[in-house]
Amino acid sequence: MSDEPTQRRSTASLAAALAGGLTGACLAAAAILATAYVERDRLRDWLLAGDRDRLARLEAGAADLAARLAQPPANPAEEFDQRLTHLEGELDQLRRSIPSEAMLLRLTERTESAERGIQELAHAQAASQALLLAVGQLREAVNRGDDFAAELAAVRRLLPDAEALEGLGDGAAIARRDQLLQRFPALVRDVLDQENEARARGWWNAILAHVQKVIRVRRIDGKGNDAEAVLGRTEAALEKNDWDQAVAEMRGLSGPFARTADEWMKQAEARLKADRALSRLTGLAAARAGAAAQ
């Protein structure tokens, strides 16, 4: 029974506290509203300040444009002439910067000429290199002692100069120098045998010819015009590798001795002609290659 009055007092206290809080909140809200109402003009000005600045700038621009439109140039014709003169000057500069038709034609011709020169130079360089290669292959074939008709035809296509190819014949094999050297001792024996037989008159010459035939005794001084002297001088020239002199000495043989040496002489002369032709071709090909490279 004693708890009931206490509960009632607690409830009454709580209700009073709530009523007091609500009353205070209402009073605070009322005070804020009153302040906002009093400061409403200042708040509106603060919110609209940016828009007013933009509006002011637009109004100033419109006023300036209206003023410019309201005041036409003092002398429109003079201003027009000035602008026209300026435009004409710019057009004149543009015309001067554009090449004339004649100049364009000359430039085109020079360009085409330069391109042709480059193409001709490239062709000349390629042709000179091909000629060098073909001449080298021809030299190798000749020096091997093989038929060289194919190599000669290749050089002839690149160098249709008959004079430069003179001395090479139709491409048939030409004896090498070492082959001619190997055949020379047998030729010497044959010629000396002929000469000894021609000298063998009487029993003493016959004995001497037989002795020379067996032990191969002969002069080496090279003096005189007989076959033995001619062969001695030829042999001396060959030992010095002087083929021109050797062939020239062999032409000193006459009669049956010359006929015996005829085949060797033909081969030696063909060898000399081929060597001269190859030297001439090599020099010509090298000169063309050098000229094309410049």
Among 76-90, 127-141, 257-271, which stretch is predicted with the lowest mean pLDDT? 76-90
> Does 135 score more than 70 pLDDT?
yes
Q: Where are the domains of the chain?
A: 177-278
Amino acid identity at 274: A
Helix axes 101-144, 262-293, angle to 10 degrees: 150
- CA distance linking residue 205 with residue 214, whole number of Å: 14
- CA distance linking residue 151 with residue 274, whole number of Å: 14
> Does 218 score more than 50 pLDDT?
no
Whether the model clears a pTM of 0.95, i.e. scores above it, the answer is no
- CA distance linking residue 158 with residue 4, whole number of Å: 140
> Does 159 score more than 60 pLDDT?
yes
- The confidence band for 85, taking pLDDT boundaries of 50, 70 and 90, is confident
Among candidates 285, 188, 293, 174, which has minimal Cα distance to 236?
188
User: What pLDDT shows up at residue 154?
Assistant: 87
Quickly tell me which residue has 């030729």 as its tokens: 187
- CA distance linking residue 2 with residue 247, whole number of Å: 168
Better-scored residue on pLDDT, 240 or 196: 240
User: What pLDDT shows up at residue 204?
Assistant: 43
Long-range contacts, stretch 108-117, CB < 8 angstroms, 24+ apart: none
Distances (CA, A) of 25 to 31, 35, 105: 10, 15, 99
Among candidates 171, 154, 167, 149, which has minimal Cα distance to 271?
167
Among candidates 237, 277, 19, which has minimal Cα distance to 141?
277
User: What pLDDT shows up at residue 242?
Assistant: 94
Mean pLDDT across 2-19: 63
Enumerate the H helices of the chain as residue ranges.
3-38, 40-47, 49-70, 76-97, 101-144, 149-158, 177-199, 203-215, 227-239, 243-250, 255-260, 262-293
> Does 219 score more than 70 pLDDT?
no
Contact in structure between 214 and 199 (CB atoms under 8 Å):
no
User: What pLDDT shows up at residue 70?
Assistant: 63
Distances (CA, A) of 40 to 46, 49, 115, 171: 10, 14, 89, 124
Average pLDDT, the chain: 75
- CA distance linking residue 45 with residue 50, whole number of Å: 10
Distances (CA, A) of 278 to 14, 135, 144, 181, 290: 137, 8, 14, 21, 18
